[in-house]
């Protein structure tokens, strides 16, 4: 008889706990029918965020290739340039050919900026890009360098940090701007 009584108390207690949990969930539910969620952890992109402005940001989305690299086409000073996105590169770096497409003459370049790269120390010519445009996004006065021995132009931090945020997740690069 005592076993039956304990079983009844346990069942009633479980029902009460379940009922209490359901009521508590409803009390803390936010307007619109969604339960509160924990704040999302800050990402590396959030650290690069500029002060927020009103409204929603604009976004450009690019998929990485099979090797995990993101390539995108841009207009630099009106000339067409194909970039590989390199979040580890400090400046935007142009090949000599892409610099010429952007209207930068070799005669105007002084290769006196010492650069440390993955391939060792090299010299580059510092330039300022009047305009770098990707789709509807235009960024002006972008610091960059021109490398003589570069095989592909790099879209580095001197451009990326001018955005409100950027994020690489699951092979998708998202550029957010206002």
Q: Cα separation of 89 and 110, whole Å? A: 20
Answer whether 0.75 is exceeded by the pTM. no
In the chain, which residues have pLDDT < 70?
3-7, 9-56
| Per-residue pLDDT at 73 | 98
Domain spans of the chain, in order of start? 1-38, 45-177
> Any idea what DSSP says for residue 174?
E
| Per-residue pLDDT at 118 | 79
CATH superfamily of 45-177: Acid Proteases (2.40.70.10)
172: CB partners within 8 A, 6+ apart: 61, 62, 63, 64
3-state secondary structure 88-154: CCCCEEEEHHHHHHCCCCHHHCCCCEEEEECCEEEEEEEEEEEEEEECCEEEEEEEEEEECCCCCEE
């Amino acid at each position: 008889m005592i076993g039956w009584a304990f079983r009844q108390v346990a069942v009633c207690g479980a029902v009460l706990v379940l009922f209490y949990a359901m009521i508590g969930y409803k009390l803390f539910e936010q307007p619109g029918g969604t339960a509160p969620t924990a704040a999302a952890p800050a990402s590396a992109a959030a650290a690069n965020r500029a002060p927020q402005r009103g409204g929603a940001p604009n976004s450009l989305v690019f998929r990485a290739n099979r090797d995990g690299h993101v390539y995108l086409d841009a207009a630099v000073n009106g000339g067409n340039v194909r970039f590989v996105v390199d979040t580890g590169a400090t400046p935007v770096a142009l090949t000599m050919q892409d610099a010429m497409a952007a209207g930068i003459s070799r005669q105007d370049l002084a290769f006196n900026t010492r650069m440390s790269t993955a391939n060792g120390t090299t010299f580059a010519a510092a330039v300022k890009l009047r305009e770098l445009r990707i789709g509807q996004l235009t960024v002006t006065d972008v610091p960059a360098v021109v490398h003589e021995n570069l095989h592909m132009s790099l879209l580095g931090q001197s451009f990326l940090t001018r955005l409100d945020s950027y994020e690489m997740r699951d092979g998708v690069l998202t550029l957010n701007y206002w």
